């Protein structure tokens, strides 16, 4: 018998977890390079395809044939890149990455991967979900389910922080996407998402881009040179932007040296205050999505029990500081933002398959009553594999009927509905 795995297919990093029967907890699995996280970067080299850290290093060193951030174009069938005369869509590239994750896990564990749950941003549309599923099939994976990333992270959190009636806002800021979900832990072991929203074009990459702009603006005001007109220097800054951004999480300032036509080697320093000021509008975009979500549920910040931080970009200190400023809650980071999603998927793939006798649809209004109850004391979830999650769809649904002549009959949209995981 093989194993069942949870896969976090991220914009910047991907990860795999399995369920450990002995401890009753999900655990991460390293890739064949011995790393917990696999950069979602592919390099088309002369006679081979390189995946992960080596491809990321090549990208940062300015080598040719490297592709990254393709998840942002998931569901778009047009070519994302051309390599060796062949077109690759975001789905094709994701299939290559997923196959690597599958084969790597098989090598490390010595077991065959039988089944997988793959995660996607909650805000993904059907087309993007279908593309993810197709990519997984191409990669030779038998996918039990596609689940939402914040829901997966919340499952991991709930294992050790069960709190009846707690209303948790999951704030998930990754590399390319932002999702925010409000969920409630109801009677153990049932959790339900109340509502979700997001923006799949808002993530750490946008912070990188604004850091590049900040560097360009500073160089221009100090030297009068527009870095964009010096392609080699601009590309060098572009490649280092993420590393520079991460160093600003640790340090007050960071520097980069560029070659300018007139000044030669020129060192530019950026402080965290300057970076925070430039990127404040991005934070505010996340904040207004959070406020809208609360508004749609008729809730206020005070109605929330906690705000849970998920996603690598929540490591930037500006994120918890901003959330505290607007909400009055000190956000909690009780899960490892890099691992929680894959671990939640590993729980999900090991849960018993539900016996669907009927499908029930609930609207947001149906949850109004349960939202009134006060949160109780925190406990540990007695049995992880009894967990049940009622998830929500981010986008409205409708029903299409087609007659023999191909005429479409479309009903009026259903309001937001939920489904049981």
Query: What CA–CA distance (Å, rounded) separates 342 from 174?
Result: 14
10 binds Mg ion (CB under 5 A): yes
Q: Are 313 and 174 in contact (CB under 8 A)?
A: yes
Q: Is 179 in the site for ligand ADP (CB under 6 A)?
A: no
Contacted by 25, from ligand ADP, Mg ion, none: CB < 5 to 8 Å by type: none
Among 12, 68, 91, 240, binds ligand ADP (CB under 6 A): 12
How many residues lie near ligand ADP (CB under 6 A)? Answer: 22
Is residue 73 part of the contact set for ligand ADP (CB under 6 A)?
no
Residues 6+ away with beta carbon under 8 Å from 41? 51, 52, 55, 56, 59, 66, 67, 68
CB of 8 to ligand ADP, least distance (A): 6
Answer yes or no whether residue 30 interacts with ligand ADP by CB under 6 A: no
Consecutive H or E run containing 137: helix 126-138
CB of 167 to ligand ADP, least distance (A): 23
Piece of the chain touching ligand ADP by CB under 6 A; list 59-67, 84-92, 232-240, 244-252: 244-252
Among 129, 246, 329, 362, binds ligand ADP (CB under 6 A): 246
Based on the shown chain and the rule CB under 6 A, indicate whether residue 150 belongs to the binding site for ligand ADP: no
How far is Cα 279 from Cα 206, in angstroms, rounded to an integer?
A: 9
Q: Which stretch binds ligand ADP (CB under 6 A): 7-15, 48-56, 215-223, 322-330?
A: 7-15
**Which range touches Mg ion (CB under 5 A), out of 3-11, 91-99, 240-248, 263-271?**
3-11
87 upstream amide cis, omega within 30 of 0? no
How is residue 65 written in tokens? 């044939």
What would the x/- binding string for ligand ADP be over residues 96 to 115, using CB under 6 A? Answer: --------------------
174 touching ligand ADP, by CB under 6 A: yes
Distance of closest approach, residue 175 Cβ to ligand ADP, in angstroms: 3
User: Which one of the spans 6-14, 58-66, 251-259, 363-371 is the region binding ligand ADP (CB under 6 A)?
Assistant: 6-14
Tokens 């490591």 -> residue: 315
Can you tell me whether residue 237 is helix, strand or coil?
Answer: helix
Strand, helix or coil at 180?
strand
Q: Return all residues near 407 (Cβ < 8 A) that are at least 6 apart.
A: none
Return the residues of window 171-210 that contact Mg ion according to CB under 5 A. 174
Looking at residues 300 to 339 of the shown chain, list those that interact with ligand ADP (rule: CB under 6 A).
311-313, 315-316, 337-338
- Which residues lie closer than 8 Å to 273 by C-beta, 6 or more apart? none
- The SS3 assignment for 70 reads helix
Instruction: Select the residue interacting with ligand ADP from 3, 4, 6, 11 (CB under 6 A).
Output: 11
How many angstroms separate the CA atoms of 151 and 172, rounded? 10
384 binds ligand ADP (CB under 6 A): no
Tell me if 140 sits within 8 A of 103, measured CB to CB: no
Q: How far is the CB of 253 from Mg ion (least distance, A)?
A: 28
Extended strands (E) in 229-297: 253-260, 264-271
Residues 6+ apart with CB under 8 A from 372: none
Residue 338 DSSP one-character state: T
Q: What are phi and psi of 250, to 5 degrees?
A: -100, -40
CB 41 within 8 A of CB 69: no
For the bound state, the minimum distance from the C-beta of residue 343 to ligand ADP, rounded and expressed in Å, comes to 13
Nearest-approach distance from CB 101 to Mg ion, in angstroms = 14
Shortest Å distance, C-beta 347 to Mg ion: 16
Binding to ligand ADP, residues 272-291 (CB under 6 A): none
Q: Are 365 and 168 in contact (CB under 8 A)?
A: no
CB of 144 or CB of 205, closer to ligand ADP: 205
Q: Which stretch, 5-13, 213-221, 271-279, 325-333, contacts ligand ADP (CB under 6 A)? A: 5-13
Longest dimension (CA), the chain: 74
In the complex, which residues of this chain contact ligand ADP (CB under 6 A)?
10-13, 174-177, 203-205, 242, 245-246, 249, 311-313, 315-316, 337-338
């Amino acid at each position: 018998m093989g194993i069942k795995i949870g896969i976090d297919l991220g914009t910047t990093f991907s990860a795999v977890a399995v369920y450990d029967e002995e401890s009753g907890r999900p655990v991460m699995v390293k890739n064949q390079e011995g790393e917990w996280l696999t950069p979602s970067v592919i390099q088309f080299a002369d006679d081979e395809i390189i995946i992960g850290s080596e491809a990321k290093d090549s990208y940062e060193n300015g080598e040719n044939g490297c592709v990254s951030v393709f998840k942002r174009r998931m569901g778009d069938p047009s070519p994302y890149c051309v390599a060796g005369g062949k077109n690759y869509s975001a789905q094709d590239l994701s299939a290559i990455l997923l196959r690597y994750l599958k084969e790597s896990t098989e090598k490390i564990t010595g077991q065959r991967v039988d089944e997988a749950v793959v995660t996607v941003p909650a805000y993904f549309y059907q087309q993007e979900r279908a593309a993810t599923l197709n990519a997984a099939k191409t990669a030779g994976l038998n996918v039990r389910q596609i689940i939402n990333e914040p829901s997966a992270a919340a499952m991991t959190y709930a294992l050790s922080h069960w709190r009846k009636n707690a209303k948790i806002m999951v704030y998930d800021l990754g590399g390319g996407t932002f999702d925010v979900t409000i969920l409630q832990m109801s009677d153990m072991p049932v959790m339900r998402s109340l509502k979700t929203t997001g923006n799949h074009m808002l993530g750490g990459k946008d912070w990188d881009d604004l850091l590049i702009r900040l560097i360009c603006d500073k160089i221009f005001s100090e030297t009068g040179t527009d870095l964009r007109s010096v392609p080699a220097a601009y590309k060098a800054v572009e490649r280092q932007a993420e590393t520079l951004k991460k160093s600003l999480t640790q340090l007050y300032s960071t520097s980069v040296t560029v070659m300018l036509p007139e000044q030669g080697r020129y060192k530019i320093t950026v402080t965290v205050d300057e970076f925070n000021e430039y990127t404040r509008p991005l934070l505010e975009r996340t904040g207004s999505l959070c406020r809208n979500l609360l508004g749609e549920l008729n809730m206020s910040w005070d109605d929330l029990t906690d705000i849970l931080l998920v996603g690598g970009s929540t490591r930037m200190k500006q994120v918890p500081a901003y959330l505290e400023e607007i909400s009055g809650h000190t956000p909690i980071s009780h899960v490892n933002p890099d691992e929680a999603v894959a671990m939640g998927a590993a729980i999900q793939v090991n849960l018993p398959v539900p016996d669907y006798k009927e499908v029930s649809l609930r609207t947001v209004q149906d949850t109004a009553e349960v939202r009134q109850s006060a949160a109780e004391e925190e406990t540990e979830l007695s049995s992880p594999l009894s967990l049940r999650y009622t998830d929500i769809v981010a986008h409205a649904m409708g029903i299409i009927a087609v007659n023999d002549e191909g005429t479409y009959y479309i009903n009026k949209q259903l309001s937001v509905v939920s489904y049981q995981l």
